[in-house]
Homo-oligomer: A and B are copies of this chain.
Amino acid sequence: MSEIRTSLSIGQVAERTGLSVHALRFYEREGLFVNDVRRGPGGRRVYSEDDVDWLTVCIILRASGMPLPALRRYADLVREGAGNEEERLRLMREHYEHVTAQIGRLTQSLDLIRFKVGVYEDLVDQGSVSARQCHAPSLSAGEERTPLLRHEAVVE
C-alpha cells in the first residue's frame, strides 16, 4: 500500500523546481508548505514528490502574481483539509480575476507598444533611404519630436 516514495534533498528540489535552496527554506519559514518538510538524519530536509508537486503549483501561482500572503492562506486551507472548499474557491476565483485583469492591461499596453514599434520601423526605413542622400533627415528637429508625442498619447 505504501509505495517507496522518492525522497529528495533540498539541492535536488532546487534543481528540479528552479527555486534556489534559499528560496526553499524561505518558503518553508513563510509557511507555504502544506506538509511540514520532514527531516532526515542530521536535521536535513527531506522532500517528497508531493512537495515538489505542491511547489510546482506555488510557482505557477507566484508566476501569475499571487502574493505570498495569499499563497500562505491557500496552503493553510489545504493543510486544514476538507470543509473549506468555498473559501479555496473564493481565493482561486479572486486570483483568476486578477490574472485576467492583468492580461487585459498587458494586452492594452501592447497596442501602444506595437504602434511605437511601427513608428520606429517606418522612421528607420525612411532614414536608411534618405541618409545616403542628405545627412539631415527630411523633418526638422522641431518637427521630429512633437508629432511623435502627439500620437503617442493616442492609445486606442
Interface residues of A (CB under 8 A from B): 34, 50, 52-54, 56-57, 60-61, 63-65, 78, 81-83, 85-86, 88-89, 92-93, 95-96, 99-100, 102-103, 105-110, 112-114, 116-117, 120-121, 123-124, 127, 137, 139, 141, 144-146, 148-150, 152-153, 155
Q: Given the interface contacts A83-B137, A99-B113, does A121 sit within 8 Å of B63 by beta carbon?
A: no
Residues of B within 8 A of A95 (CB): 113
Q: Given the interface contacts A117-B93, A120-B88, does A64 sit within 8 Å of B106 by beta carbon?
A: yes
A117 touching B99, Cβ below 8 Å: no
- How far does the alpha carbon of A45 sit from the alpha carbon of B100 in the complex, in Å? 38
A155 touching B60, Cβ below 8 Å: yes
Cβ-defined partner of A120 (8 Å) among B89, B145, B149: B89
- How far does the alpha carbon of A52 sit from the alpha carbon of B116 in the complex, in Å? 18
**Max chain B C-beta neighbours (<10 A), residue from A64, A109, A121, A139:** A109
Number of copies: 2
Minimum Cβ distance to chain B for residue A44 (Å): 23
A145 touching B92, Cβ below 8 Å: no
A82 touching B137, Cβ below 8 Å: yes
- How far does the alpha carbon of A46 sit from the alpha carbon of B103 in the complex, in Å? 35
18 contacts between A and B (CB under 8 A): A52-B153, A53-B149, A53-B152, A56-B153, A56-B155, A57-B153, A63-B106, A64-B113, A65-B106, A78-B148, A82-B141, A85-B124, A86-B124, A92-B120, A99-B110, A99-B113, A103-B103, A106-B106
